[in-house]
Structure 1
Amino acid sequence: MIGKLKGTVDEIGDDYCVVDVGGVGYVAYCPARTLSALEGEGTAVVLYIETYVREDMIRLYGFRTPLEREWFRLLQNNVPGVGAKVALAVLSTLSTAELANAIALKDVAMVARAPGVGKKVAERIVTELKNKAPAYAGEASGTIGLKQELGEGSAPAPVADAVSALANLGYSRDIAANAVAAALRNAGDGADAGTLIRLGLKELAP
């Protein structure tokens, strides 16, 4: 099984690229975000690969990071009706951080932005992955750093108080931290606990 390709970009198509590795060209189907990050033909590239082997074909899917590949697997293995095409569409539209936050905050509309992903599929993605999103959050803007600060006891008092308040309302600490991180982005670092709780609850509203 192929897990990674390191070589030179030989060709870039609408939904794939060809990577030359030692004179052998490998076709890898990729999310649009991955393709747009390529620097052009003849440039060096590293892709993390998910290999699908079937009776009639072998197909490679390529991603910029191992985390993107894990989300590709997660979407297909845990959400009924989601195959490679839909998973690629989601990862083409949303970064892993945006996807993790959308699931944690139950933002069905955000997930439904992906081409071919209607409201029902988006609802299934949010529902089936709601308990898995924190573990796959990656470098969600501000969220990972916030969780580290909370774990170390170094988070500002208003932030810690807001997370505790949301947790006391029944939300998991991970989801509470995601909501407060989103609230911080809107309110700024100087916001008090009351403001963060109010905005956090707004983020968590169905």
Structure 2
Amino acid sequence: MFAYLKGVLVEVESQYKIIVEVQGVGYSITVPTSLIGRLPARGNEVKIHTYFSVRQDGVELYGFLSREDKLMFEKLISVTGIGPKAAISILSALTSTQLALAIATGDIKTLSTAPGVGKKTAQRIVLELKEKIEKEAKDETGYAIELPEERSAEAEAVQALMALGYQSSEARQAVNLVKDQGQDTSELVRLALKALDKR
């Protein structure tokens, strides 16, 4: 229904709720707690990528600062037993980059650090999303990316970036730019995202 809302940040109601005014209408939006600290000061303009949820228990608007976070939220709520509120809780504990990497590598331990996510839920997330993420991690021709068998940090960083929606060419280019600066996958992804943001 809404791809995003662009308006004035009126209020931070709680760690999960903000109000954004767009042309005289105030929208109450549920957000990950990690988003609150990245918002501009009240009275300033903000762009929130939104997901409109209609369920038996009511209607709610969920918001994110980046399209990548919104896409990860949509992936999470597609998992059996995970609703919007649980997905928001997970994204409050782990960034979309950390989630994509944990799912792609089957890192149950990292996934289990999110509130309400036990070992079984973490395994279900990997089971139901790993294939989706790997399917997205393909180049424009639709052929699977050839990653080194040893699953190097560089290869995993490229796959994590592609799981976040970046094309294979730009993901590879960004990782190549920073490969000498980072030692592990998480560090490479963080540095590559910074490089991509500067484009």
> Displacement, 1:3?
2.2
> Displacement, 1:43?
1.7
Say whether 1:177 aligns with 2:161: no
> Who is 1:125 aligned against?
125
Q: Give ranges in structure 1 of 5+ residues lacking alignment.
A: 138-146, 152-159, 168-172, 191-195, 197-206
C-alpha distance in 1, partners of 2:72/2:159? 21
C-alpha distance in 2, partners of 1:116/1:74? 17
Kept after mapping to 1: 8 A contact 2:148/2:155: no
> Displacement, 1:34?
1.8
Say whether 1:11 aligns with 2:11: yes
Deviation per residue, 1:19-51 (Å, 9 max, x gap): 011121100101112222112211211001100
> Displacement, 1:2?
2.2
Q: TM-score, normalised by structure 2?
A: 0.68
Deviation per residue, 1:145-198 (Å, 9 max, x gap): xx9xxx9xxxxxxxx9xx43437xxxxx9x99217999x9xxx739xxxxx9xx
> Who is 1:70 aligned against?
71
Secondary structure of 1:102's aligned partner: helix
Question: Quick check: which one's helix share is greater?
Answer: 1
C-alpha distance in 1, partners of 2:93/2:56? 31
Q: Give ranges in structure 2 of 5+ residues lacking alignment.
A: 161-174, 185-199
> Who is 1:95 aligned against?
95
Aligned length: 160
> Who is 2:170 aligned against?
none
Runs of 4+, deviation exceeding 4 Å: 134-137, 179-182
Say whether 1:166 aligns with 2:150: yes
RMSD between aligned alpha carbons?
A: 3.4
Higher Cα Rg, which structure: 1
Q: TM-score, normalised by structure 1?
A: 0.66
